[in-house]
Structure 1
Amino acid sequence: MKKREMVAILGMVIADDEKKICKLIEYLVNWDEIGIQLLGTAYDGITALQLINEKKPDILLTDIRMPGMDGLCLIEEAKKLNDILKCIIISGYKDFQYAQQGMRFGVRDYLLKPINQEDLTRTLKKLVKETHEQMWKQSTHLHLEETLKTYTGTFKHLFLKTVLQKKLCEQEETILKEVTEINAADIIKDSSRCIAVKPNINYREFTEESYQLLTEKTLEIAEVEFSSHNWVWISEITREGIYFLLFYNALDRKELLESINHIKERVLSLQDLFPRLYFHAVISEPADNCLQLIHRIKESRIGIGNRLLTSLNTVSEIKSYVPFPAEPKSIDTRISELLENKPEAFDMAGIKKCVEAAREIMTAEGISSCLQVKKNLLVLLNYYLKGFRQLDTTLTDSEIEAWFSEMYEHCTSIEQTFCLLEETLCKTLQNVLEHLKNREIKPVIYAKHYIEENRGINIKLEELAKNTGFSYTYFSSLFKKETGKTLTEYIQMVRIESAKKLLTEKERSISEVAELAGYNDIKFFTRQFKKTLGVSPNEYRKLFTNRSQGGH
């Protein structure tokens, strides 16, 4: 049907094999006053049908007896083109019985020949009014349907978005209460399923632009597939993947599986654009109410997260997940014990050893949930980041954690997540060390300052190295490279220099000088002093005293 505004002029076609009748009707009607435009006249049924198909009139005024196609056949065929076409039959008394047959096509108006101007005008005005009312009702109904569709669709999106933003451990009843408050509690009129889809690029090749393009392509492929089945759905994109809520009256499970596998094949065919491309999808069981659907969404999130435990490029059905998978507490305990031993924060080899130990702990205990894997990987990450920050306060650990969490979502196996952690830590340490090389205060300067400030106490070299964040072996080599002396030699030099100053103070005894310089054993102090300067502490004091007196 040709779309018209409610106030638009209606169009009409006249069909009668008598040309003088057509001319008479055209003459009798005040077209502008009634609000009708005469679109054309035809003198046989076939021409009239062609004209109707071309001009799309709102009203047809036709005779019954016409060559080619009679008026009743014309009405029947015209109604197929426009089922709300208003039809008026013109007939004589002898054709009245045929006119009555037109009622089965919805004809309610007929005019007897000879045509009366008053009857014709009244009939046309009535049809114009009815048509305008019908068009208004239809327009209002369509607008209402569109509004309801938009309204319902908006709240469906809000419902899905709200549930996906919640932590997986949050109570489903609490989430239901929140979505009830946003007027989304009765969005499910029929059964629904949650489908989680994860198109993936290996984290080593990940770029924001490429992944966004892949996500858009996947969404486009899925929407084309769902549309081909006339399914009703909504979608939401998160860092975890693309989530669909599929609404239906009746859905064949086999058909759904075939569709998701078809989406998988289409996505994986994009290898030319994305060389290392992966695809996972999980399909929930049906949900018949909001609380159940919240549960299905959470199951789907857990299911798509556990893709790391499955083969690559799989489509699977979720059968029997619990709301929040039980996690072996022994894994958390053993990871905590691993960190209680305070592994070296500034040692590449130590980092690799610690990550490997964590991997052995988790795989030995048996991993049933990737949620626990990610949680413990973040514990390890934050332990090291805290150590790195002790040396480099400019380190933006929150950004590194966010980056790690994002790249974790692009891993394709459990093994790869440990590789990601190791690479992240080693790269961060390398950046910290590079940054420290360009800083005014270096770890060696800190150590030198610490030794000078604490020369009078028994300095433990391992603790000193740890305070700078390095292993003892690594820091010793770094210290000698910077100062030309080993830590022990440097401490000895500082203590001897301190003793030299103290010996100039006559009131202090040799044993007191030794203790203040950091020596507990006066004999060892005397031996070290003489070894360094060639004279004993007593001889040094006499030499200094004589030199002072000679100066007077």
Structure 2
Amino acid sequence: MKALIVDDEKHVRDGIKILADWEQNGIREIYEAANGEEAIKLIKTIRPEIIFSDMKMPKMDGTQLLEWIKENQPSSKTIVVTGYDDYHYMRKAIHFGSTDYLLKPIEPEILNQTLEKAVKEWMKEEADRQRKETSSLLINEMKPVYRDRKLTQLMNSDSLQKDLYKEFGWLKQSRDYIAALVRVNGKTIEAFQADRDLTYFTILNIINEIMKENGSGIGFRYLSQKGEIVLIFWDKFELVEEIVVRIYKTLKNMLDISCPIAVGKVVQNSSKLIDSYHHARKVLLNRNILPDKRIRVYLSDIEAAPSLKSLIVYSSDIEMAIQTGEIRAFEELMGRIEQDITEMEYLSVRQVINLENEYMVISNKWFEHYNIPFKAPEDIEERVDLFFDSNGTFSLEKYKKRKKREITIFLKKVKKRTQQKGNNIITDIEKYLQENFDRDVKLQEISDHFYISREYISRKFKQEFNENISDYIVRIRMEKAKSLLKNSQLKIYEIANMIGYQDDKYFRKVFKKVERITPNEYRAENVKQ
């Protein structure tokens, strides 16, 4: 395996090279680039599996590089490394599929945990890619599967393969094309008893029967992306809308399934088919899923979707809701988020996917915070598919109920984990106070140190010791002071400083209040004895 480190600061690149356990993770070659432009030249040549990238660099910054990688080298796993703790950069990293987001200065343990995670994810995905390729080779004698494989290769290739001219008579390099995209979601596959191959075989038979009537297009299963059928049109573009509407209606009437269809832009060359596909995919992801439409066909001139709303801006509200430990706090918050994302009565698939991605990031953070096992779903789009019915209608209510159930389960786990920790936590807190009695220990510090809410600590400590934490610290200090006062060599102000009081007058006042005599009187009595 190969790794590429992209950063305009050489000492950062050197630091990553030194700190990372490359051999342990099977990485034998490490390359460097000082900016995005250098990185792209290297990526085209070496095709690295793992890419570390800074966000702020000259010539081409990290955001532009991540976007290029997602479009041109999507199999690589990217890890963002930056000195800017900014949710804007975090959103960009999430949007372009980065494995993780590391802040400078880099901690070796976190760096190697992230590297190990990225390598494991790449290896798992590579195994899936190899399995799909092997499967295609084994059954390439079957015409539909062979067609799907060849046309998928055509979509992803910059150069036209000569053998495809003979196999597909309609294929000419210099002619206009349009790609359309048909989404096959989980509900559709369930209608075929979860037999994915049977689903595609049946749907494509219907699609290609309709396409053949006009002799101007072909449909195939797009093997590079789960849940997609691509239609290629090379003639009679004025009939494209009519054809795709007929396809949608026929699938709905014959199979009682809803497969939304989006039409891409016209391109002037077969090598640009992928651009038309990406445009169609953008149209499909940006479609408004709130209206109850009878025909779910979306054209390339569809009105632009509103800008994406971020869940990360609610991080502090989520933290407060978690600290309450009550689902009621989340119900109010979810209402505000719903109002925000459905503004203008518009909700796109892209917005829901973005929310899911950010929800996973935030969930992972809190599960790790409470040391609770957490497994993120492998396919976010398939997860979103669960909330579309057979008519293609998205149920926002079901989606909210699912989130509420997930959060409720999380809160129960947190409560159980907190109770388990609570059995021994107060003893640990007492020990912590005894070790730090000579400085001003705040309740928030204890909360941060032990990952327990301030309210819980205060209540539990009072139950255990029948006094609050501040009184307990005073008592410890006074016991220590009495011990030190028996040493006639120490001055009163020195003893005050040793037990955490900078003002010896205040110390004398507290001592007299607690012990009923002054420090000098206590010393006189005990030294005499």
Instruction: Tell me the TM-score normalised to structure 2 length.
Output: 0.52
Q: Name the structure 2 match of 1:245.
A: 231
Deviation, structure 1 residue 319: 1.9
Q: Distance in 1 between matches of 2:161 and 2:498?
A: 74
Match for 1:290 among 253, 266, 270?
270
Match for 1:235 among 217, 221, 240?
221
> Aligned with 2:181: secondary structure?
strand
Contact 1:239 1:406 in 2 (8 A): no
Map of 1:84-99 to 2, 5 A cutoff? Answer: none
Q: Distance in 2 between matches of 1:241 and 1:149?
A: 17
The 1:383–1:229 alpha-carbon spacing in structure 2 relative to 1, beyond 3 Å, is closer
Contact 1:194 1:246 in 2 (8 A): yes
Deviation, structure 1 residue 434: 2.9
Find out whether 1:281 has 2:244 as its counterpart. Answer: no
Q: Distance in 2 between matches of 1:347 and 1:428?
A: 13
Find out whether 1:507 has 2:489 as its counterpart. Answer: yes
Deviation, structure 1 residue 226: 3.1
Q: Name the structure 1 match of 2:204.
A: 223
Q: Which deviations, in whole Å up to 9, do the C-alpha atoms of 1:483-532 show, x marking residues without a partner?
A: 66544344444444544554454433344333433345556545555665
Q: Name the structure 1 match of 2:368.
A: 389
The 1:371–1:453 alpha-carbon spacing in structure 2 relative to 1, beyond 3 Å, is farther
Q: Name the structure 2 match of 1:301.
A: 281
Q: Name the structure 2 match of 1:518.
A: 500
Match for 2:251 among 257, 263, 271?
263
The 1:462–1:219 alpha-carbon spacing in structure 2 relative to 1, beyond 3 Å, is same
Q: Distance in 2 between matches of 1:480 and 1:406?
A: 49
Q: Which deviations, in whole Å up to 9, do the C-alpha atoms of 1:410-459 show, x marking residues without a partner?
A: 33355665655555455335434434544699665664454344333323
Q: Distance in 1 between matches of 2:193 and 2:466?
A: 53
Deviation, structure 1 residue 284: 1.5
Q: Name the structure 1 match of 2:12.
A: none
Deviation, structure 1 residue 354: 4.9
Q: Name the structure 2 match of 1:19.
A: none
The one-letter amino acid of 1:509's match is K
Find out whether 1:410 has 2:381 as its counterpart. Answer: no
The 1:328–1:365 alpha-carbon spacing in structure 2 relative to 1, beyond 3 Å, is farther
Contact 1:308 1:370 in 2 (8 A): yes
The 1:328–1:193 alpha-carbon spacing in structure 2 relative to 1, beyond 3 Å, is closer
Residue identity (%): 18
Deviation, structure 1 residue 263: 1.9
- Bigger CA drift: 179-188 or 515-524? 179-188
Deviation, structure 1 residue 347: 3.7
Q: Name the structure 2 match of 1:88.
A: none
Q: Name the structure 1 match of 2:441.
A: 459
Q: Name the structure 1 match of 2:85.
A: none
> Aligned with 1:309: secondary structure?
coil
| RMSD between superposed Cα atoms in Å | 5.0
Deviation, structure 1 residue 236: 3.5
Match for 1:400 among 342, 363, 376?
376
Q: Name the structure 2 match of 1:318.
A: 298
Find out whether 1:213 has 2:206 as its counterpart. Answer: no
Deviation, structure 1 residue 282: 1.7
The one-letter amino acid of 2:206's match is E
Deviation, structure 1 residue 222: 1.1
Q: Distance in 2 between matches of 1:304 and 1:213?
A: 24
Contact 1:233 1:245 in 2 (8 A): yes
The 1:347–1:341 alpha-carbon spacing in structure 2 relative to 1, beyond 3 Å, is closer
Q: Name the structure 1 match of 2:350.
A: 371
Contact 1:192 1:246 in 2 (8 A): yes
Residue-pair matches, total:
366
- Bigger CA drift: 467-476 or 455-464? 467-476
The 1:326–1:403 alpha-carbon spacing in structure 2 relative to 1, beyond 3 Å, is closer
Contact 1:280 1:314 in 2 (8 A): no
The 1:531–1:432 alpha-carbon spacing in structure 2 relative to 1, beyond 3 Å, is same
Contact 2:178 2:276 in 1 (8 A): no
Map of 1:141-156 to 2, 5 A cutoff? Answer: 153-156=148-151
Deviation, structure 1 residue 234: 1.4
Structure with higher Rg: it is: 1
The one-letter amino acid of 2:273's match is L
Match for 1:476 among 458, 477, 483?
458
The one-letter amino acid of 2:171's match is K
Q: Distance in 2 between matches of 1:521 and 1:252?
A: 85
> Aligned with 2:386: secondary structure?
coil
Instruction: Tell me the TM-score normalised to structure 1 length.
Output: 0.51
Contact 2:461 2:469 in 1 (8 A): yes
Match for 2:470 among 483, 488, 492?
488
Deviation, structure 1 residue 378: 3.5
Deviation, structure 1 residue 213: 0.7
Q: Distance in 1 between matches of 2:432 and 2:381?
A: 38
Deviation, structure 1 residue 235: 0.9
Contact 1:280 1:313 in 2 (8 A): no
The one-letter amino acid of 1:225's match is I
Contact 2:178 2:233 in 1 (8 A): yes
Contact 1:192 1:248 in 2 (8 A): yes
The 1:242–1:463 alpha-carbon spacing in structure 2 relative to 1, beyond 3 Å, is same
Q: Distance in 2 between matches of 1:151 and 1:497?
A: 85
The 1:363–1:216 alpha-carbon spacing in structure 2 relative to 1, beyond 3 Å, is same
The 1:303–1:461 alpha-carbon spacing in structure 2 relative to 1, beyond 3 Å, is same
Q: Distance in 2 between matches of 1:151 and 1:301?
A: 24
Q: Name the structure 2 match of 1:157.
A: 152
The one-letter amino acid of 2:249's match is N
Contact 2:481 2:495 in 1 (8 A): yes
> Aligned with 2:180: secondary structure?
strand
The 1:224–1:502 alpha-carbon spacing in structure 2 relative to 1, beyond 3 Å, is farther
Q: Distance in 2 between matches of 1:352 and 1:443?
A: 30
The 1:487–1:316 alpha-carbon spacing in structure 2 relative to 1, beyond 3 Å, is same
> Aligned with 2:447: secondary structure?
helix
Q: Distance in 2 between matches of 1:528 and 1:341?
A: 40
Contact 1:388 1:469 in 2 (8 A): no
Q: Name the structure 2 match of 1:434.
A: 416
